Amino acid sequence: MAYHVAIVGATGAVGTEFLTLLAERNFPISKLTLLASERSAGKTLEFRGEPVTVQALRPESFEGVEIAFFSAGASHSREYAPYAVQAGAIVVDNSSAFRQDPEVPLVIPEINPEAVQRHRAIIANPNCSTIIMLMALEPLRRLTRIRRIIVATYQSASGAGAQAMQELIDSTHAFLYGEPYEPKVLQHPYAFNLFSHNSPIGEDGYNEEERKMVLETRKIWNDPTVAVVPTCVRVPVLRAHSEAIVAEVEERPPLETLYEAYHQFSGVRVIDERDRNYFPMPLEATGRDEVLVGRIRYALDMPNGVALFASGDQLRKGAALNAIQIAEYLIRS
Ligand code: A2P
């Protein structure tokens, strides 16, 4: 069986990754509808060597669509996902629009695949930093309960979209040639700099990205008591996020058991070579499906603490790949 698939936001950073991955994974597609803003209507994108014309997103865009991947921001998901559902499609939404809706499953297939079954036509894809953190913690969580997480992120430009990636390239070029550069997408100079995540900050001192990591972890783990203390930072890296994570667990497993668990789990790849200071790096995580994990060690003077460092491709496992894995799970079950 093959499906009529639509991608909303097809021209964006995540949208184009959908095209690459759907072809790479041989997703069964009978028809592909590419949707973006009015500005992109008439452009062509390549899929499996053939040009596909992009159409402007409209309420009537979903006729006959069976699976719709949304990646054009929360407001467009809120407005247009109901039209897709009305037309009979199942929506896998990459935005934050429905993630906290109790009726909508929030799924990482390696962690809570069973949640997919409860869907009522919309399934939410978690935030990229949350996916990368929870993938990096999953082998540990299978051994013991995790009570608390303290995490600092090193987030790439891709999470802020294709234009932010271009801004990183252009501003770096301008910096190197001593030319002036006025930031257009992000608020602060990006070349050779880093800054607190560009999402709005609340009265409690946490920005929206950090709040997503807190709330989404609780929902995916179905554990309302897990404590998460994130600090999210944007760094001048193009497309893979890294995270320094300390987890406090109920019972700390022996190190050998821990290493074995990480080596056995297919969603991560262990890179932990202390003798040559070789650990996860965003450049090496780029284009890979697995999250790279290393620096796996006990947290010093913290009896139940485990520390590690992870890098994961924000556009792949952090976005398009996870959404496609959800759809693959759906069509298999
Ligand atoms: P467009 O390229 O036509 O602006 P990114 O996250 O990389 O910035 O990508 C955002 C995606 O969302 C793009 O595909 C963009 O299309 C799409 N998008 C932005 N505004 C709209 C809109 N009003 N209607 C439909 N798609 C939109």
DSSP-derived secondary structure letter, 201: B
Segment 310-318 shows an average pLDDT of: 98
Level-2 CATH architecture, domain 3-125+319-332? 3-Layer(aba) Sandwich (3.40)
Q: Which of 33, 1, 30 is nearest to 19 (CA)?
A: 33
Distance 235 CA to ligand 1 centre (A): 23
At 108 the pLDDT is 98
Q: Would you name the residues annotated as active-site residues?
A: 128, 241
Q: Are 143 and 125 in contact (CB under 8 A)?
A: no
pLDDT value, residue 45: 98
Give the span between the Cα atoms of 163 and 183, in whole angstroms: 11
pLDDT of residue 147: 98
Name the token pair of 42: 């008439």
Which residue of 17, 37, 45 sits with most ligand 1 atoms within 8 Å of its CB, as the best mutation to test the pocket? 37
Across all residues in the chain, what is the average pLDDT?
A: 98
Query: Which of 105, 99, 123 minimizes the C-alpha distance to 215?
Result: 99
Pocket of ligand 1 (CB under 6 A): 9-13, 15, 36-37, 39-40, 57, 72, 76, 161-163
| Ligand 1 geometric centre to CA of 307 (Å) | 38
Q: Is the pLDDT of residue 225 over 90?
A: yes
Residue type (1 letter), 15: G
pLDDT digits (tens, 9 = 90+) for 78-117: 999 999 999 999 999 999 999 999 999 999 999 999 999 9
The pLDDT of residue 333: 86
- SS3 call for 254: coil
Give the residue, by CA position, lying nearest to ligand 1 atom 22.
Answer: 37
Residue nearest to atom 25 of ligand 1 (CA): 37
The amino acid present at 309, given as its one-letter code, is F
Mean of the pLDDT values across residues 128-155? Answer: 98
Please tell me the CATH code under which domain 130-314 is placed: 3.30.360.10
Distance of CA 134 to the CA centre of its chain: 11
Pairwise CA distance, residues 70 & 92, whole Å = 6
Alpha helices in 28-146 (DSSP H): 74-86, 128-141
Mean pLDDT of 316-325: 98
Q: Identify the pLDDT of residue 150.
A: 98
Nearest protein CA to atom 12 of ligand 1, as residue: 72
Please give the number of the atom of ligand 1 that sits closest to the Cα of 13. Answer: 7
Residues in the chain: 333
Give the whole-angstrom CA distance, residue 173 versus residue 157. Answer: 15
CA nearest neighbour of 171 among 191, 195, 194? 191
Domain borders along the chain are: 3-125+319-332, 130-314
Cα(26) to centroid(ligand 1), Å: 25
- Note the pLDDT of residue 306: 98
pLDDT band at 145 (very low <50, low <70, confident <90, very high): very high
Instruction: Name 199's Cβ contacts closer than 8 Å, sequence gap at least 6.
Output: 207, 208, 209, 232
CA 198/CA 207 separation, integer angstroms: 8
Distance 24 CA to ligand 1 centre (A): 23
CA–CA gap between residue 94 and residue 74 (Å, rounded) = 8
* Residue nearest atom 9 in ligand 1 by C-alpha distance: 12
> In this structure, how many other beta carbons lie within 10 angstroms of the beta carbon of residue 79?
13
Angstrom CA distances, 245 to 32, 46, 135, 150, 229, stand at: 39, 39, 12, 6, 10
Cα-to-centroid distance, 94 and ligand 1 (Å): 13
In contact, 123 and 92? CB cutoff 8 Å: yes
pLDDT of residue 70: 98
Give me the pLDDT at residue 271, please.
98
Report pLDDT digits (tens) over 6-43: 999 999 999 999 999 999 999 999 999 999 999 999 99
Ramachandran assignment for 205, one of left (phi > 0), alpha (psi -120 to 50 degrees), beta (any other):
left
pLDDT class of 243 with cuts at 50, 70, 90: very high
Instruction: Report the nearest-CA residue for atom 6 of ligand 1.
Output: 161
Give the residue among 308, 312, 23 at the shortest CA–CA distance from 159.
Answer: 312
Geometric angle at alpha carbon 125, from 124 and 126, rounded to 5°: 110
pLDDT in tens, 205-218: 999 999 999 999 99
DSSP 213: H
**41 CA: nearest ligand 1 atom:** 3
Tell me, in angstroms, the distance from the centre of ligand 1 to residue 54's CA: 11
Q: Which atom of ligand 1 is nearest to the CA of 15?
A: 14
pLDDT band at 44 (very low <50, low <70, confident <90, very high): very high
- pLDDT above 70 covers a percentage of the chain that reads 100
d(CA 15, CA 70): 8
Beta-carbon contacts of 237 under 8 Å, excluding residues fewer than 6 positions away, are: 154, 155, 156, 157, 282, 283
CA of 8, closest atom in ligand 1:
26
- C-beta separation of 312 from 285 below 8 A: yes
